[in-house]
Amino acid sequence: MSDVNSEAPTVALMDQLPDASIQGQSPLFHADLATVAKKGPKTGGVVFKEQALMGQITLRLNAENAEQLKAAEKVLGVSLPTQPLTSVESGDVSVRWISPDEWLIIVPGLKAFDVESALHAALSGHYQVVNVSGGWTVFMLSGKNARDVLQKSAPVDVHPAAFPVGKVVTTVFAKSSAIIRRAGDDQYELVVRRSFADYLWLWLQDASREYGLVVEA
Protein backbone atom coordinates (compact mmCIF):
# COMPACT_ATOMS: atom_id res chain seq x y z
CA MET A 1 0.00 0.00 0.00
CA SER A 2 1.36 3.40 -0.87
CA ASP A 3 1.58 5.99 1.83
CA VAL A 4 -0.95 8.78 1.88
CA ASN A 5 1.58 11.50 2.58
CA SER A 6 4.88 11.41 0.81
CA GLU A 7 6.20 14.27 2.92
CA ALA A 8 6.74 13.64 6.60
CA PRO A 9 4.18 15.72 8.51
CA THR A 10 5.19 17.72 11.55
CA VAL A 11 3.79 16.18 14.71
CA ALA A 12 3.20 18.41 17.71
CA LEU A 13 4.53 16.61 20.77
CA MET A 14 3.87 17.62 24.33
CA ASP A 15 5.25 16.12 27.49
CA GLN A 16 2.20 15.57 29.69
CA LEU A 17 4.41 15.45 32.77
CA PRO A 18 6.19 18.81 32.84
CA ASP A 19 8.14 18.05 36.01
CA ALA A 20 8.79 14.70 37.67
CA SER A 21 8.56 16.39 41.08
CA ILE A 22 4.88 17.23 40.56
CA GLN A 23 2.91 14.44 42.19
CA GLY A 24 0.42 12.84 39.85
CA GLN A 25 -2.86 11.39 41.04
CA SER A 26 -4.14 8.07 39.82
CA PRO A 27 -7.87 7.59 39.12
CA LEU A 28 -8.11 5.73 42.44
CA PHE A 29 -6.33 8.44 44.42
CA HIS A 30 -9.53 9.22 46.34
CA ALA A 31 -9.87 5.58 47.44
CA ASP A 32 -6.64 5.90 49.46
CA LEU A 33 -5.53 2.34 48.76
CA ALA A 34 -2.52 2.70 51.07
CA THR A 35 -4.79 3.05 54.10
CA VAL A 36 -7.16 0.36 52.83
CA ALA A 37 -4.17 -1.97 52.44
CA LYS A 38 -2.89 -1.21 55.93
CA LYS A 39 -6.24 -1.68 57.69
CA GLY A 40 -7.63 -4.48 55.53
CA PRO A 41 -7.14 -8.26 55.74
CA LYS A 42 -3.74 -9.71 54.90
CA THR A 43 -4.92 -13.05 53.52
CA GLY A 44 -7.68 -13.87 51.06
CA GLY A 45 -8.44 -15.44 47.71
CA VAL A 46 -8.07 -12.29 45.63
CA VAL A 47 -5.30 -9.71 45.74
CA PHE A 48 -5.92 -6.29 44.20
CA LYS A 49 -3.23 -3.79 43.36
CA GLU A 50 -3.40 -0.67 41.24
CA GLN A 51 -0.36 -0.08 39.09
CA ALA A 52 -0.79 3.65 39.26
CA LEU A 53 0.59 6.27 36.91
CA MET A 54 1.86 3.99 34.15
CA GLY A 55 2.40 5.40 30.66
CA GLN A 56 0.14 4.07 27.90
CA ILE A 57 0.88 4.57 24.22
CA THR A 58 -1.33 3.54 21.33
CA LEU A 59 0.61 2.51 18.26
CA ARG A 60 -1.04 1.93 14.90
CA LEU A 61 0.79 0.84 11.79
CA ASN A 62 0.55 -1.61 8.93
CA ALA A 63 1.63 -5.02 10.23
CA GLU A 64 2.67 -5.99 6.71
CA ASN A 65 5.13 -3.10 6.52
CA ALA A 66 8.42 -4.75 7.57
CA GLU A 67 10.21 -1.41 7.73
CA GLN A 68 7.75 -0.01 10.29
CA LEU A 69 7.81 -3.20 12.35
CA LYS A 70 11.59 -3.04 12.45
CA ALA A 71 11.59 0.63 13.47
CA ALA A 72 9.13 -0.06 16.30
CA GLU A 73 11.19 -3.03 17.45
CA LYS A 74 14.31 -0.91 17.57
CA VAL A 75 12.64 1.62 19.90
CA LEU A 76 10.83 -0.87 22.13
CA GLY A 77 13.49 -3.54 22.33
CA VAL A 78 10.89 -6.19 21.51
CA SER A 79 9.16 -7.02 18.25
CA LEU A 80 5.47 -6.16 18.04
CA PRO A 81 3.26 -9.22 18.60
CA THR A 82 1.59 -9.77 15.22
CA GLN A 83 -0.20 -12.94 16.33
CA PRO A 84 -3.76 -12.03 17.40
CA LEU A 85 -4.40 -11.86 21.16
CA THR A 86 -0.77 -12.08 22.22
CA SER A 87 1.56 -9.84 24.17
CA VAL A 88 5.26 -9.43 24.76
CA GLU A 89 7.13 -8.08 27.72
CA SER A 90 10.74 -7.04 28.11
CA GLY A 91 12.03 -5.25 31.18
CA ASP A 92 9.64 -2.39 31.92
CA VAL A 93 8.09 -2.33 28.42
CA SER A 94 5.07 -4.45 27.56
CA VAL A 95 3.15 -4.53 24.29
CA ARG A 96 -0.37 -5.88 23.77
CA TRP A 97 -2.00 -6.84 20.47
CA ILE A 98 -5.30 -4.93 20.29
CA SER A 99 -6.25 -5.27 16.64
CA PRO A 100 -4.43 -6.36 13.44
CA ASP A 101 -3.02 -2.83 13.11
CA GLU A 102 -3.06 -1.58 16.69
CA TRP A 103 -0.97 -2.18 19.80
CA LEU A 104 -1.04 -0.85 23.34
CA ILE A 105 2.37 -0.18 24.85
CA ILE A 106 2.73 0.26 28.60
CA VAL A 107 5.86 1.74 30.12
CA PRO A 108 6.58 3.48 33.45
CA GLY A 109 4.84 6.86 33.46
CA LEU A 110 8.01 8.92 33.46
CA LYS A 111 9.28 7.06 30.40
CA ALA A 112 6.18 7.54 28.26
CA PHE A 113 7.22 10.80 26.62
CA ASP A 114 10.66 9.44 25.72
CA VAL A 115 9.17 6.33 24.12
CA GLU A 116 6.53 8.40 22.33
CA SER A 117 9.18 10.76 20.94
CA ALA A 118 11.47 7.90 19.94
CA LEU A 119 8.63 6.17 18.08
CA HIS A 120 7.84 9.36 16.17
CA ALA A 121 11.51 9.73 15.29
CA ALA A 122 11.89 6.14 14.16
CA LEU A 123 8.64 5.61 12.24
CA SER A 124 7.83 6.98 8.85
CA GLY A 125 4.95 6.75 6.42
CA HIS A 126 1.37 6.07 7.48
CA TYR A 127 1.33 5.41 11.23
CA GLN A 128 -0.08 6.75 14.47
CA VAL A 129 1.46 7.14 17.91
CA VAL A 130 -0.68 8.63 20.67
CA ASN A 131 0.22 9.01 24.31
CA VAL A 132 -3.00 8.01 26.07
CA SER A 133 -1.50 7.83 29.55
CA GLY A 134 -4.20 10.02 31.06
CA GLY A 135 -6.99 7.81 29.79
CA TRP A 136 -6.24 4.46 31.37
CA THR A 137 -5.17 2.85 34.58
CA VAL A 138 -3.93 -0.66 35.32
CA PHE A 139 -5.33 -3.07 37.91
CA MET A 140 -3.54 -6.25 38.88
CA LEU A 141 -5.69 -9.11 40.14
CA SER A 142 -3.96 -12.13 41.61
CA GLY A 143 -4.57 -14.94 44.05
CA LYS A 144 -6.19 -18.33 43.75
CA ASN A 145 -9.68 -16.90 43.21
CA ALA A 146 -8.74 -14.14 40.76
CA ARG A 147 -10.03 -16.29 37.90
CA ASP A 148 -13.39 -16.74 39.63
CA VAL A 149 -13.79 -12.97 39.81
CA LEU A 150 -13.06 -12.67 36.08
CA GLN A 151 -15.56 -15.42 35.31
CA LYS A 152 -18.23 -13.42 37.10
CA SER A 153 -17.34 -10.19 35.30
CA ALA A 154 -16.48 -10.97 31.68
CA PRO A 155 -18.02 -13.16 28.94
CA VAL A 156 -14.68 -14.48 27.66
CA ASP A 157 -13.38 -17.95 28.44
CA VAL A 158 -10.63 -17.52 31.04
CA HIS A 159 -10.04 -21.23 31.65
CA PRO A 160 -6.27 -21.90 31.46
CA ALA A 161 -6.85 -24.12 28.40
CA ALA A 162 -8.27 -21.16 26.48
CA PHE A 163 -6.40 -18.35 28.21
CA PRO A 164 -2.67 -19.10 28.44
CA VAL A 165 -0.17 -16.80 30.13
CA GLY A 166 0.52 -13.82 27.87
CA LYS A 167 -2.86 -13.87 26.12
CA VAL A 168 -4.65 -10.52 25.79
CA VAL A 169 -8.34 -9.95 25.18
CA THR A 170 -10.25 -6.70 24.87
CA THR A 171 -13.71 -7.42 26.12
CA VAL A 172 -16.76 -6.44 28.07
CA PHE A 173 -16.02 -6.32 31.78
CA ALA A 174 -18.83 -5.72 34.23
CA LYS A 175 -20.81 -3.71 31.63
CA SER A 176 -17.71 -1.59 31.11
CA SER A 177 -14.70 -2.66 29.07
CA ALA A 178 -11.20 -3.86 29.89
CA ILE A 179 -8.09 -5.16 28.22
CA ILE A 180 -7.36 -8.34 30.16
CA ARG A 181 -3.95 -9.97 30.02
CA ARG A 182 -2.90 -13.08 31.86
CA ALA A 183 0.39 -11.95 33.36
CA GLY A 184 1.16 -15.10 35.32
CA ASP A 185 -0.39 -18.36 36.53
CA ASP A 186 -2.77 -16.65 38.95
CA GLN A 187 -2.12 -13.11 37.83
CA TYR A 188 -4.29 -10.98 35.58
CA GLU A 189 -3.74 -7.45 34.40
CA LEU A 190 -6.76 -5.26 33.65
CA VAL A 191 -6.26 -2.08 31.65
CA VAL A 192 -9.38 -0.01 32.28
CA ARG A 193 -10.60 3.44 31.35
CA ARG A 194 -9.90 6.01 34.03
CA SER A 195 -13.51 7.20 34.02
CA PHE A 196 -14.60 3.66 34.94
CA ALA A 197 -11.81 3.05 37.46
CA ASP A 198 -13.87 3.91 40.51
CA TYR A 199 -16.88 1.90 39.32
CA LEU A 200 -14.69 -1.13 38.61
CA TRP A 201 -12.90 -0.80 41.94
CA LEU A 202 -16.31 -0.93 43.65
CA TRP A 203 -17.37 -3.83 41.41
CA LEU A 204 -14.21 -5.80 42.19
CA GLN A 205 -14.63 -5.28 45.93
CA ASP A 206 -18.15 -6.63 45.68
CA ALA A 207 -17.24 -9.53 43.37
CA SER A 208 -14.28 -10.51 45.58
CA ARG A 209 -16.15 -10.38 48.87
CA GLU A 210 -16.97 -14.09 48.98
CA TYR A 211 -13.30 -15.03 48.47
CA GLY A 212 -11.75 -12.37 50.70
CA LEU A 213 -10.09 -9.35 49.14
CA VAL A 214 -6.58 -8.29 50.00
CA VAL A 215 -5.53 -4.84 48.83
CA GLU A 216 -1.90 -4.08 48.20
CA ALA A 217 -0.68 -0.53 47.91
Partner 1 sequence: MFYIYCPYCGEHREEEEFHNHGQAHIERPKDPDSCTDEEWGNYMFFRKNPKGLHHEIWVHAAGCRKFFNVTRHTVTYEIKEVYKMGEQPKVVAE
Q: How far is the CB of 196 from partner 1 (least distance, A)?
A: 13
Residues in the chain: 217
By CB under 8 A, is residue 77 in contact with partner 1? no
CA–chain centroid gap for 171, Å, is 13
Nearer to partner 1, 48 or 97 (CB): 97
CA–chain centroid gap for 57, Å, is 9
In the chain, DSSP finds a helix count (H) and a strand count (E) of: 5, 11
Q: How far is the CB of 110 from partner 1 (least distance, A)?
A: 30
Cβ–Cβ under 8 Å, residues 37 and 47: no
Nearer to partner 1, 52 or 85 (CB): 85
Distance between CA atoms of 38 and 214, rounded to whole angstroms? Answer: 10
Torsion angle defined by CA atoms of residues 61, 71, 121 and 102, in that order, rounded to the nearest 10 degrees: 20
By CB under 8 A, is residue 98 in contact with partner 1? yes
Q: How far is the CB of 69 from partner 1 (least distance, A)?
A: 18
By CB under 8 A, is residue 108 in contact with partner 1? no
> Segment 159-178, which members bind partner 1 (CB under 8 A)?
169-172, 177
Q: How far is the CB of 135 from partner 1 (least distance, A)?
A: 16
Nearer to partner 1, 76 or 98 (CB): 98
Nearer to partner 1, 85 or 132 (CB): 85
* Beta carbons within 8 Å of 98's beta carbon, 6+ residues apart: 58, 104, 168, 170, 179
- Where does this chain bind partner 1 (CB under 8 A)? 84-85, 98-100, 102, 155-156, 169-172, 177
